Structure 1
Amino acid sequence: MKVHFSLIKRSKWFFLLSGLITVTGLVVFLISGFNLGTDFVSGSRIQLQINQTVNNAEVRDLFNKAGITIEQQAITSAGTGAREAAIVRLTTRLTPAQQNKILSLEKQMYPKSSSASFSVVDPIVAKQTSRQAIWAILLASAFIIAYIAIRFEYRFAIAGVVAVLHDAFIVLATFSLLRLQVDLPFVAAVLTIVGYSINDTIVIFDRIRENMKATPPNSREELQELVDKSLWQTMSRSINTVVAVLVAAVMLYFFGGTALHNFTFALIVGLVSGAYSSIFIASPLWVAWRSRQFRTAAPVKTS
């Protein structure tokens, strides 16, 4: 593909944009923190298989009769029509007596319902889950560094992981800003984004490596031109791939039920961020690092 304009020479603007996003995200974290689900904090998750359309007001009334006050945001739905269920998340642990009361009220208010299911998480389990989620992301990043360092070089590896962490950070900042719930499906979405982003980045890195073998650059300017050429050669592939996956994610968001909203929304944000970072962050960062050898290399003596 023809090089329409230099992306590498404009990299400072891309770095500035990402820097602003990072600072904004940090401010959001400090002010708001995360809206953690019951997977990461002690609490209860109740699924009422009512087998009819969920009415949030009726569900709240059921819990009020059981002596439990819940908010509108605590109720989501799953399934459709005759198989629809109401999912309620609480920050408190339900006692056996409260669970029995909910089961009794469910049968009275929803004759077609199946028995409700309860998932109660205590503080110790929540802490272990949080620790395991962090380790999962860290280990994934470590294996990515090792793989790219072996297949390419360590500078490619570091640049690729910075881009991946950039994507994960944007998703985290978005969820913190919008007060969306962070739970285990969210962690699964982040790991999916990590895999997609690094795959897209490796495709670009592979093209850069091929072009370097064909015409090794002898100056910083030649290196920039080579990477610009590589980026434009893979641009259509990157855009087409992300558009195809985005269409599937958007369809899943609108037609997959509210229980999948947070998961698919995280995917949508991460896919867009992943496409951006692969093109505008990872490769320019590698160029900035790799081009130092041309400034520090000793001049070649001629006779």
Structure 2
Amino acid sequence: MRFNNFDFVRTSKYFYTFSIILTIAGLIFLAAFGLNYGVDFRSGSNVDITTSKPMTEEQLLPVINEIGVEEEPVIVPGAERTNIRFSDVLTETQDAALKAGILKLDETASFEVNTVDPEMAKELGRNAIYAVLLSCVGIIIYVSIRFEWRFALAAIVALLHDAFVVISVFSILRLEVDITFIIAILTIIGYSINDTIVIFDRIRENLRFAKIKKYTDLVELVNKSVAQTFKRSIYTALSVLIAAFLMLVMGGDSIRMFSLAIVIGLAVGMYSSIFIASPLWLVLKGKNIAKPSAPQPSKTEV
């Protein structure tokens, strides 16, 4: 299929509308409910139990009630792996009592206990925000030096769009956010900027030899540049997306949220580089070029 005559700039308005709606919904859910933080970003204990037979919530509740926790934990039973998340940090006595009670149900059970105290949870949260912000600042500096500030601004808006869409989906669906989620966000930012740079580089090359006299010439240049890199962008994104999707379907529970974030981010980044970043650069660049004025009604002689 050839895309030489496809109007990417005009089509971008539909993607802008979709992104705006999703962003607004994400902001509403974030303001009302926030994110469903995992144990990495809030104090508490997370217990992963590997058993030789399935365990039900009804079996585990009596054991949990005996150890004396203030708030009822979140129990996620599984065929061979069960997760129990406590909002409070378990003491050594409670930890030993929990393991002893579960071993009575299954002698072959093994445990993995992760505990985060309040100060560590706050520090992890701050470091995660700093990591994302510093990566964005580095990208702005890099793109500004290699290209110009309009490319940098368009690229960073597209990157923040990709990251925020993933955050919005996790907030709306109440999916758990842990440290692997932050790794996924940074991975998405790195992949998305790579795809965006390829398109921007083609725009810059075509701009060197183009004679831009009016706004429609600039629109034609952006459409031409995107068309020249479209297949490369789609094929590269699909190859990575398929691998990430297989990792989501066939991977373990420990990387499921990471894989899901990667899949969503790659899908969003695939269209943002084409339909968000490039048209946004066009808007910024087009302010210096006179747009075609509306036709004036002809004067009739009396």
Work out whether the TM-score is over 0.5: yes
Cα distance 1:181–1:226, how it changes in 2: closer, same or farther (>3 A)?
A: same
Matched, 1:95 2:86: no
Q: Is the 8 A contact 1:160 1:282 kept in 2?
A: yes
Match of 1:229 among 224, 234, 249: 224
SS in 1 for 2:122: helix
- Structure 1 residue 61, shift from structure 2 partner: 5.0
* Corresponding residue of 1:3: 4
* Corresponding residue of 2:198: 203
* Corresponding residue of 1:44: 45
Matched, 1:134 2:129: yes
- Structure 1 residue 45, shift from structure 2 partner: 1.3
What is the distance in 2 between the residues matched to 1:161 and 1:231? 18
Query: After the TM superposition, which residues 103-114 of structure 1 pair with which residues of structure 2 at under 5 Å, given as runs?
Result: 103-114=99-110
Q: Structure 2 length as normaliser, TM-score?
A: 0.88
Q: Is the 8 A contact 2:75 2:82 kept in 1?
A: no
Matched, 1:286 2:274: no
Q: Flag structure 2 segments of 5+ consecutive residues without an equivalent.
A: 292-302
- Structure 1 residue 60, shift from structure 2 partner: 4.4
Matched, 1:146 2:134: no
SS in 2 for 1:87: strand
What is the distance in 2 between the residues matched to 1:287 and 1:105? 64
What is the distance in 1 between the residues matched to 2:95 and 2:48? 11
AA of the residue aligned to 1:106: I
Cα RMSD (Å)? 2.0
Query: After the TM superposition, which residues 1-303 of structure 1 pair with which residues of structure 2 at under 5 Å, given as runs?
Result: 2-50=3-51, 52-57=52-57, 58-68=59-69, 70=72, 74-75=75-76, 84-114=80-110, 116-295=111-290
Q: Is the 8 A contact 2:47 2:83 kept in 1?
A: yes
* Corresponding residue of 1:299: none
**1:110-134: CA deviations, max 9, x gaps?**
22233x2322211111111110000
- Structure 1 residue 88, shift from structure 2 partner: 2.3
AA of the residue aligned to 1:287: L
**1:219-252: CA deviations, max 9, x gaps?**
2111110110111111111111111111111111
AA of the residue aligned to 1:24: A
- Structure 1 residue 70, shift from structure 2 partner: 4.7
Q: Is the 8 A contact 2:154 2:278 kept in 1?
A: yes
Between 160-169 and 205-214, the greater mean CA deviation after superposition: 205-214
**1:261-293: CA deviations, max 9, x gaps?**
211111111111101110100000000000111
What is the distance in 2 between the residues matched to 1:54 and 1:269? 31
Q: Is the 8 A contact 2:45 2:85 kept in 1?
A: yes
SS in 1 for 2:40: coil
SS in 1 for 2:84: strand
Cα distance 1:54–1:153, how it changes in 2: closer, same or farther (>3 A)?
A: farther
Overall identity of the aligned pairs, in %: 41
Q: How many residues align?
A: 288
- Structure 1 residue 295, shift from structure 2 partner: 2.5
Q: Flag structure 1 segments of 5+ consecutive residues without an equivalent.
A: 297-303
- Structure 1 residue 55, shift from structure 2 partner: 2.7
Q: Is the 8 A contact 1:167 1:273 kept in 2?
A: yes
